[in-house]
Structure 1
Amino acid sequence: MFGRQVTPTTVPTDIVVPFRFFDDTPLWKTVILYSMFVFDDVLSPERLRDSLEKLAQRDGWTRLGARLRKNAQGNLEYHVPSEFTEQRRALSYAHTIHGINAADHPVASKIPIPSSRPAVVCDPDDFRELLYPDGGPVSLADYLNRDIPQLGLYIVSFRDKTLVVIYWPHTLMDVLGKKALLDAWTLMLQGREDEIVSPQGGDSDPLADLGKYPTEPHKLASRRLSMFGLAQYGINNVLDLFRAPENRMVCVPGSFIENLRKEAISELVSEGAENTFLTEGDVICAWWTRIATSHLPSNSQRMVVINNAYSLRKCLEADLLPKGAPYASNGTGFINVLLPIHHIFEKPLSYIAAATRSAIQELGSRSQVEAFFAMWRGSSGKIPPFFGNGSMHMITYSNWCKAKLFDVDFSAAIVKPGREDGRLGTPVYIQNNQCGLLLPNAFPIIGKDKDGNFWLSGYMNKGLWGRIEEQLAKA
């Protein structure tokens, strides 16, 4: 249907809740997230739906069922129904039944299994018909122009598998917000609702003062891109926005990463480094940076910026986000590592990993976080600060391992078990798809499965994944 869409009429009895400052940003407003969990068990759609809907009606969690609106000033706000009804439910829901095994379905049969070596295992976009229910939102406008809840649930049932998809606008929450939701949903599913803790802040904004009181300059302040630098970067990369991006999922055995980590630590020890501690995440980012830049001239002086998303929760637990309750919103900042391309290829992997670890330790302190968010708060259009130069090549990582998504336990919803290895009700495969902004060279590290395999995905310009597969074949 063509023509101007009309915003739904305001319901006078709705409870109006203003957006938190760092939820209402251009970055989050451009993204709608769809997260698919694949189970080898047959799960009860009714139990899953009823428990999640019950959670969304619980005090402290009603933002899940809120409707999205703009006020007279053009600012986003939540309109929470004073009472959820059949006409205005707390949850969008759809269920599709396929009376066959997943292996006999033309699309579900392609759901990947772990590989024995680092490998590209699928294109997550191939599963779109299993991800998106009819009429599923694909932009913020869909939420503004329809009277639908923030959170949606879509279940696809096979005779031997169940696919559970949850979807929401990024303005609602980040991955650790999703973890808080999944933890509470699991407790509700298990009948342990008395153990559910309400999220931090209620209708207030726990981060309302973040960035207002910096005590020191940001350590990369001199490398911050001006508006002119951002424009130059945009011009240099504008063609990427018109190229057809390709999405892929990569599986990396945990033993492979552990061997790389031991080797990197050994290199640091032999060099007499003061700090030889490296995490698996440091090593994955270092290794993948080398893989993902393999198409660039190895002797180039051009700068690579490793842009790491990280959670603020640990850093802010002493003041703004005290322990004891989850923060089910957006609590994400960015830590940057700036390296010339030739260093990535000339120096050992330990060099990149150690630079990443050092940046996390230096830029992740409470005072540096305050300085970073002071820049973000004061930026034009609430755009987060970027560092580097107009000709840089940027790679973005979001490591979700701390969310432990593969530990989700939906065993209380099992109708027909499909496993005999003690992992009933836990996902065997997880992927994240998004609508809206598709940043090239942005890689979510989905997590570490029960067998120790790491899974990561991302979009790259058409043709580059073929080169990556060649690199992985040599790994």
Structure 2
Amino acid sequence: MKAVRQWLFAAEAVNDKKSIVDEPDVYPVHSLDRMAEYQKFVATVMYFNDALDADMLNASLVKLLETGDWKKLGGRLKKDVNGRLQLHVPPRFSAEQPAVAYTHECLTEMKISDHPVAKSLPTHTHVPSLQPLPERGALRTLQVRPDFPASLDDLMAEDLPPLSLHVHTFQDATVVGLSWPHLLMDGVGRSALMKSWSLVMAGQEDKVPPVAGAHHDVLSGLPAGASDQDEFFANKGLLRGVRLAKVLLYWGWAKLAGPGKVIRSMYLPKEIYDMLVGGIKEQVSQVQGQTGTKRYISESDAITAWVTRQVALSEPRPRPVTIMSLFNGRYALKQHLNPDAVYLQNMVLINYTTLSAEEARDAVAPLALACKAQLSEQTSESRALGFIQWISKRVDKTKHTVPLCGGEDSVLLCCNSLIRADLIRETRFAPAVLRAGEAAETRRNPAGSMINFFYGLPNEPTQFINGFNILGKDHSGGTWFAGNLAPQVWEALEYEVKQLGEGKSSS
């Protein structure tokens, strides 16, 4: 352990020497990364029930960013003569030009339970639980430093590194805030970052995978995909012009007049989660046996259908529902990507599931099958390629690139599943543990691993549309969720899982 610490901090000290090379290494910002929707900051809060060495966290992250094309993440955002964004990596990271904007709040005289904000972070429970998150402004103090840039323009004007590491160390816990402009990477890229950061921290730099496509966008050289993307969006009810204006006006009125959405986290222990997902899959099998259809329903499919149904049932009158779900293109384009490399870029695609009021309020099994039927078409290689190429043609021409689909009267639900990214279990910070926090007899996770994480947009107001995220599984097999839903939806979900706990599923 001592050798690892000396190696990390010695490497950091070398960075303070002046470089004799003046020219930066310039990386392009790829086409999907240039989407207007990605020119916002993402910030995550990771909760560890151990006291970690904050300086070691920073030193190992810096060391990673000195490895091959991982240094792209330390580049300064600039614009070229055509106004396109680029990342300019300093010849050598130094105190004047650090790889990471690092700040540390050392609060080791207090326990996390005594901190006015961190004490409210959700934690695992032995029974299903709905837990509030700290208010947005309070949570921001754990995500980012007080002088965090308000926009990309501020980041560029101050010539700051895009990655920000903001650590609070307590007597018995550590809260790690990590933020970056969304244009740097998506959730799968972040998972690779966490895994590689952990490897460097453990002195296993030789196991860090190389970064592919840093200088050349792998998505730009792919074969042609579906050519009917405009027609496809039209069939999904693409909103534009007067129809889009009506929807935006309706949303504005609903925000002012209707009941507000509430941000909550939800934790389901493994037994309850397995009962919920297993029960839905069993119902799906029964329906498929009656209809002769065969379609695979994943955990995420089952949970999305379950939540969608409760959102639909919570409306005062039956309304159609549009599910806007995120899908990582890496999974559809495997044969075009290097399986042994990391792609630090955005490959997230958007799928639209349009449901009638009757379909959205149906039993959960037919609903899951109806959703899957629409998703299967959109996650094919041809359709994924078509979507990428459709976006790429428009990314530098329009203010908002992401199309919005659905009926004018539809309820919109945005869903995202990070189960496959496995962010909680891929993060292993054991080498940085200074003191164990939670006692061995009560803890359910290995030393240096996180309890959970939550993410959001630190500079943006809370969204007023329905949103639900499956964050992933923890080390005990339980599953974490977070969302922005109406109070009555949360109450319905809570009731359902409590019924499961009592062996009385009401689905």
Give the structure-1-normalised TM-score: 0.89
1:44 to 41, 44, 53: 53
Mean Cα deviation higher: 433-442 or 144-153: 433-442
SS at match of 2:335: coil
1:404 aligns with 2:425: no
Q: Indicate which of 82, 85, 91 corresponds to 2:100.
A: 91
| Counterpart amino acid of residue 149 in structure 1 | P
The answer as to whether partners of 1:265 and 1:277 remain within 8 angstroms in 2 is no
Distance 1:283 1:62, change over 3 A: same
- Corresponding residue of 2:120: 110
Alignment of 1:56-205 (within 5 A): 56-98=65-107, 99-124=109-134, 125=136, 126-205=138-217
Stretches of structure 1 that go unaligned for 5 or more consecutive residues are 1-10
- Work out which of the residue numbers 462, 475, 479 in structure 2 matches 1:450: 475
Letter in 1 for 2:170: F
Report which of the two has the higher share of helix.
Answer: 2
> Among 387, 409, 420, which residue is 1:372 paired with?
387
Q: Which moved more, 1:418-427 or 1:276-285?
A: 418-427
Contact map agreement 1:94 1:153 (CA 8 A) in 2: yes
Kindly state the Cα deviation for residue 398 of structure 1 after the two structures are TM-superposed. Answer: 1.3
**Any idea what the Cα deviations from partners look like across 1:365-394, whole Å, max 9, x if unmatched?**
111112222332344516123332333221
User: How far apart are the structure 2 equivalents of 1:278 and 1:254?
Assistant: 19
Q: Which amino acid is 1:309 matched to?
A: L
User: What's the counterpart of residue 383 of structure 1?
Assistant: 401
- Residues 398-428 of structure 1 show CA distances to partners (whole Å, capped at 9, x for unaligned) of 1111111111111011111235256111101
Pairwise CA distance, 1:278: 1.8
Kindly provide the amino acid, as one letter, of the partner of residue 222 in structure 1.
N
Q: Which residue of 2 aligns with 1:8?
A: none
**Separation in 1, partners of 2:344, 2:64:** 13
Q: Any conservation in 2 of the 1:47–1:413 contact (CA below 8 Å)?
A: yes
1:227 aligns with 2:240: yes
Change (3 A) 1:290 1:268: closer
C-alpha displacement at 1:339, in angstroms? 0.5
Q: Which whole-Å CA distance do the structure 2 matches of 1:261 and 1:445 have between them?
A: 13
1:414 matched residue in structure 2: 433
Q: 1:455 to 1:292 in 2, by over 3 A?
A: farther
Query: Partner letter of residue 213 of structure 1?
Result: A
Give the Å deviation of 1:113. 2.1
Letter in 1 for 2:209: V
State the alpha-carbon separation in 2 of the partners of residues 91 and 413 from structure 1.
Answer: 18
1:474 aligns to what? 495
Shift of residue 249, structure 1, vs aligned partner = 1.7
| Pairwise CA distance, 1:458 | 2.8
Query: 1:428 is aligned with what amino acid?
Result: I
Output the amino acid matched with 2:478.
Answer: N
Q: Deviations over 1:308-339 (max 9, x none)?
A: 101111211212x2311111211100122110
1:251 match: 267
Once residues 458 and 266 of structure 1 are traced to their aligned partners in structure 2, the CA distance between those partners, rounded to angstroms, is 26
Which secondary structure state, in structure 2, belongs to the residue aligned with residue 402 of structure 1? Answer: coil
Q: CA deviation at 1:289?
A: 1.5
Percent of counterpart pairs with the same letter? 26
Kindly indicate whether the alpha-carbon contact (under 8 Å) linking 1:220 and 1:387 is maintained by their aligned counterparts in 2.
yes
What RMSD over aligned residues (CA atoms) do the two structures have, in Å? 2.4
**Conservation of the 8 A alpha-carbon contact between 2:122 and 2:265:** no
In 2, Cα distance between equivalents of 1:332 and 1:259: 30
TM-score (norm 2): 0.84
Contact 1:310 1:334 in 2 (8 A): yes
Pairing of 1:255-270 with structure 2 (within 5 A): 255-270=271-286
Q: Find the counterpart in structure 2 of residue 332 from structure 1.
A: 348
Comparing 378-387 with 167-176, greater Cα deviation is found at 378-387
Distance 1:115 1:284 in 2: 20
Equivalent residue of 2:468, what SS?
Answer: strand
C-alpha displacement of 1:255: 2.9
